[in-house]
Structure 1
Amino acid sequence: MYLHAMGHFNPENIISNKFLEDLDIGTSNEWILERVGIVNRRTVLPLDYIRETKNKDFRAAFEARLYKNSQMAAASARKALARANLKPEDIGMVVAGSSSPDNIAPAESSAVAAELGIEVPCLDMNSACSSFGMQMNYLSMMQPDALPPYVLVVDSETLTKSVDYSNRSIAVLFGDGSAAAIISSRVPSRAAFVSSTFGSRPSAWEKVGIDWNWRFYQDGNAVQGFAIRKTTEGVRDLKNVYADSAKRFIFIGHQANLGMLTTVCERTGITPENHWYGVDQFGNTGCCGAPAVLSAHWDEIQSGDGVAMSIVGAGLSWAHLMLTIGDEQ
């Protein structure tokens, strides 16, 4: 599956560690950095709203938000379109995913297409935080002539509207944002996904999620252990096959927290310069985290690079992707 461009967007409002300290919820900059390595996060919510309410009423957050998922997704899509030198009308299908959709029905991809002003087939493919990897895996298995020349894949998250800001263990983790990818099964580009896998463990589906009341919950220790093990396994497998032929073997993981990612790097021998991440400045942004990191480094990719993406999520689910970079087209 050819990858023509990436795009990303994050809202302007910043939840800093100092902001969380001032909420008087028993946390501090040192406590946060030691446990999760996160400095800042972005939110669609007004900061005064968080200060005054600590987001106790999750449904009220829908009214208070400054951006909808579809608006952020469209912003990241426009960035990807500009990089690919394409127009919205060149897109023949929109696929979307989210752990924190704005509505149950219709598909959120329809709202994204409407924001872009295009009338094309729209569907959602969602496996929580692993959605981007799952989307690439299943789209790559379709017959090339069954897809339009260009497909827009968008993953958008407004996780902060499901965060209880009186709970320090949750408040320090999450941020909002979106990522977009323009892919093609027929039109060549210098970047291509040459390997993709997806799996899940449904027996553990209750370990992490967002419930009927839009409240985020998780069994933190179990989820952290799962994330480290599955990511390590995926990176090792990809490294064994592709590292020797890559000019640089770069790792991008699910942006859960910096501690998890650092442990994976230590276990798999990934050096700091070949570990791309953004969790320290944007927090855990769910399914848009890993693709947003790729987008942030899009102008840095070089011929001969191999980018291993190992992404885990609720379900429990996981996806492993190998992106190779060829010469300029």
Structure 2
Amino acid sequence: MSRPQAFIHGMGHYHPNTVLNNDFFDELDIGSDAQWVEDRTGIRSRRSVLTVSDLIAMKEQRTTLTELRAQGRVQSIADIAELAWKNLQENTKHSFADPDLVICGTSVPDYAIPANACTISQRLGFPSASFDANSACSSFVVNMHLARGLVHSGLNQKIAIFNPERYSLRIDFRDKNSCVLFGDGSACSYLSHEPKPGSLKVVDTFIASDPEGYELVQIPDDGYFSQNGRAVQKFAITRTIEATRAIMDRNQLGPDDIHYFAGHQANLRMITSATERLGFDPDKHIFNVDEYGNQGAAGAPAVLSMNWNRFKTGDRIIVTVVGSGLTWGAALLEKT
């Protein structure tokens, strides 16, 4: 008897209203300018759950994140997850049955406990088992790998995955090397065991890690995001190429058999370099990092959501992500 397969029936995304274009960094007076940022990263703008004035006040140490939270000036994990879920429903024009499991993967949670997935389920009225499974920027594929296994096993039939990210809360806006990269966003996915037309079949997934590199990208409890930029750039390009080739090899596919490729939205220069070395035509490369920055775990699924209506029956899509840990993974999807 064959095992149940996992299908993504809908995806949604949300990006906050505050736009931080490259000119914003001129105002910060941190040694960058708009052209320097775009030339270096390919990023023109990004979003934040905070207002510009609140970001500047934090940079100048006139306020703290704790104070802003107390004043209700910070969108919560549940807030941005709910807005992504509403977008999913608008995209698909369909009301989904309550999931029997909710998984949340985020780099900047509201709570150490309870699970942030529980706050999402409470907001959306889901009477569902709920837990967090975090792997930094790799969380989407890690969550998909986990959900696929649970559906295959028969333990769960309907799973909602949420990847809400708010890096602007933990970025030092005095550090020009990191603050120009990141933006906030949220994405969600709804999977089940039912092979409905128009869904994305989760054909294959795999995940991997190299814990020896755990110190290269960090957000400590009491500090800001930091990374070894040169080492991380090399890792990201190398593992993106390796993981993408590995999942093609596992499924006896070549570059010409893939219709779309979405990588981790770290920066456009990096992911474009990897795409070219993989032999994919430029029109197969889908991305949003140029307008929304590095959205952590939300980046790749937001790209899929934003292109949901572009995919045609039979299209194969590869999603490859890398992140702190060090971690990486890939998923092969096919439009039914």
Q: If the TM-score is normalised by the length of the shorter chain, which range does it land in?
A: over 0.9
Structure 1 residues 30 and 183: alpha-carbon distance in aligned structure 2, compared to 1, 3 A threshold: same
Which structure 2 residues correspond to residues 139-154 of structure 1 after superposition, within 5 A? 139-142=147-150, 143-148=152-157, 150-154=158-162
Contact 2:98 2:127 in 1 (8 A): no
How far the C-alpha of 1:268 sits from its partner, in A, is 0.7
Counterpart of 1:227 (choices 220, 223, 236) is 236
Structure 2 residue matching 1:100: 3-state secondary structure: coil
State the distance in 2 between where 1:250 and 1:243 align.
Answer: 12
Counterpart of 1:320 (choices 322, 326, 330) is 330
State the distance in 2 between where 1:122 and 1:81 align.
Answer: 20
Counterpart of 1:291 (choices 281, 286, 301) is 301
Q: Tell which deviates more after alignment, 74-83 or 18-27.
A: 74-83
How far the C-alpha of 1:180 sits from its partner, in A, is 0.3
Structure 1 residues 82 and 33: alpha-carbon distance in aligned structure 2, compared to 1, 3 A threshold: closer
Cα-to-partner distance string for 1:12-40 (whole Å, 9 max, x where unaligned):
00011001111111101111011111100
Contact 1:32 1:38 in 2 (8 A): yes
Contact 1:311 1:319 in 2 (8 A): yes
TM-score, L = length of structure 1: 0.93
Contact 1:89 1:118 in 2 (8 A): no
1:45 alignment partner in structure 2: 50
2:253 alignment partner in structure 1: 242
Q: Does 1:172 align with 2:183?
A: no
Report the AA paired with residue 22 of structure 1.
E
2:319 alignment partner in structure 1: 309
Report the AA paired with residue 130 of structure 2.
C
RMSD: 1.8
2:214 alignment partner in structure 1: 205
Contact 2:243 2:320 in 1 (8 A): yes
Structure 1 residues 112 and 197: alpha-carbon distance in aligned structure 2, compared to 1, 3 A threshold: same
Cα-to-partner distance string for 1:244-266 (whole Å, 9 max, x where unaligned):
784x5211000000111011012
Report the AA paired with residue 6 of structure 1.
M
Structure 2 residue matching 1:112: 3-state secondary structure: helix
Q: How many equivalent pairs are there?
A: 324
Report the AA paired with residue 305 of structure 2.
S
Which structure 2 residues correspond to residues 233-272 of structure 1 after superposition, within 5 A? 233-240=242-249, 241-243=252-254, 246=257, 248-272=258-282
Contact 1:162 1:214 in 2 (8 A): yes
Contact 1:58 1:215 in 2 (8 A): no
1:276 alignment partner in structure 2: 286
* Long gaps (5+) in structure 1: none
Counterpart of 1:106 (choices 114, 117, 134) is 114
How far the C-alpha of 1:242 sits from its partner, in A, is 2.8
Structure 2 residue matching 1:136: 3-state secondary structure: helix
How far the C-alpha of 1:75 sits from its partner, in A, is 1.1
How far the C-alpha of 1:55 sits from its partner, in A, is 6.5
Report the AA paired with residue 292 of structure 1.
A
Counterpart of 2:9 (choices 4, 7, 21) is 4
Counterpart of 1:193 (choices 197, 202, 208) is 202
Report the AA paired with residue 233 of structure 1.
E
How far the C-alpha of 1:59 sits from its partner, in A, is 4.1
How far the C-alpha of 1:277 sits from its partner, in A, is 0.4
Contact 1:58 1:162 in 2 (8 A): no
1:75 alignment partner in structure 2: 83
Cα-to-partner distance string for 1:88-146 (whole Å, 9 max, x where unaligned):
65322211010010111101011111111222111111111101101111221224431
State the distance in 1 between where 2:23 and 2:255 align.
Answer: 44
State the distance in 2 between where 1:186 and 1:130 align.
Answer: 26
Structure 1 residues 283 and 251: alpha-carbon distance in aligned structure 2, compared to 1, 3 A threshold: same
* Long gaps (5+) in structure 2: 1-5
State the distance in 2 between where 1:88 and 1:112 align.
Answer: 16
Contact 2:207 2:330 in 1 (8 A): yes
State the distance in 2 between where 1:287 and 1:128 align.
Answer: 6
1:300 alignment partner in structure 2: 310
Identity %: 32
State the distance in 2 between where 1:303 and 1:86 align.
Answer: 19
